[in-house]
A and B are shown apart, each in its own frame.
Chain A
């Protein structure tokens, strides 16, 4: 009489009964932002790719295989590992979206490769990614926290650091090329990835903060200490990884400022204060402009731009505004 055995009922997800409004808000944001690499005309970058020197091409392919590895980890291990920790069924659904988009990101780098590069060059770079000790070390450090049985909150810390910090030694390069009017379509695609990662880091960091506030103070302090210690360890590796990649074109120091700036933002996603002082985070303005193009500075206090500029028309939800 198996059917009569009392069991916990299996529950279907009901999006009309939310326990946390942030789940729907982020679900909507992610689904509206959905994209595929086919949307970006990468082949327009073929002439530009030909203007790069061989060592610049090799660097670019290596950077992209490094990014592919992190996306693969997050797609197949990171996001799924957080699902059993979810506090709401809607959080699990959001994580399944995050997981899938990481697969899209990983797939996108191969679209870039197949459009711009020779198979031999790409194969070599994938081999490099398997043999590079720094790249392997940072991925392994994250995977350590993703293991079954590890602390769910430490898993979220590791995940936010992957999404909001570890990608940026790589994202720097397409932003740099774009600031020099090279590989601009590739940069458009990378900006779509950067936008997604920002939502992922924000959301996982938000869930971390919700769980943290329920814990006793001693435990909160333990997790904060863990977060800063992990950041230090990852930063150590990132420094070496960055130097190995960028010393050849003399950009290491410029990339490091970008790393510091993003490390601080990753910590802010977890609700923590900055680690690196402002003078260590002075990112090259050309890189910042490449990150958010067309978002020219209208700041009144900063004194840049014309003095009393009223914002230009922006797509908005007019029906929600009565006036």
Chain B
């Protein structure tokens, strides 16, 4: 069972934080163990996932997409249909319930695309908890819709102006808040990153995606898929759908990172493809860094993937060979976005469009008897501005 007691996934993971936070992480780890062993807690969580989030989300057979690409049959796991429009709510509800259980009256979160911020603001509104969300100034501009949503949900959005003004700096700022207010505040990390026990907690809360997918695959096809494809920034939607399939060696697990303007341009965030092991934001994992161990500046058209690190369990899955990782450029992702919109009537988030773009390359190479599952982790309303600007679509 991974991680081990100190949060290690092989050589990765662990806990690299200022001493002040360690006791809070110990408390969280022990409270989490108690919670998941508590039938009442799990029933309450399941109840919210079903009646509030709208789970299970459908596994949809994309016939026109399948026909267009002319290879493997394609199913789409519809996480975009979750309340708030992305998978992030699965974890936010789970962790907000944990915060309530621990008696914390204040919650903080970091956000890139704003989906985790919206999900956290939603869960906090639902449970009556104070909420502050750290968001890079650049992301505030490119994901304005989500900023409005968070504010309307009663959360305070704190602009972060340091460094690259994106997710990396929002995360550092959230950690600084937590180190200061740790006694009263729970920090809801939105991805499978950070110090132990976060990568495990977020994976577990997100693994509902994979559990449902597995069951739905068996119902519809009577066998498991040949491959599962999901995008990877920090890696929560991919870890969530991969995890219940890890023991099923016949299922290829494929993670798709953002290659931004191209791997050679230096402006990308394909951490597993181009990074090296390092330590950032509390865990050891692959990291984009320069020759002096300074964290690199990253770029992606998708705010949710624009992060120089990645979850430690993905680093483990990569080095152990269990999962494969590829990267997709900004321009390719837009092609993925377009094909989903035009062939299936699905407006995908730019993050998920990366996974789609890789599928465009992969599906035609596969036999018609095979089938794959694409995790559509979120819907694209938030990206309308960015996409219409690039595609030069006016009113």
A associates with B: no
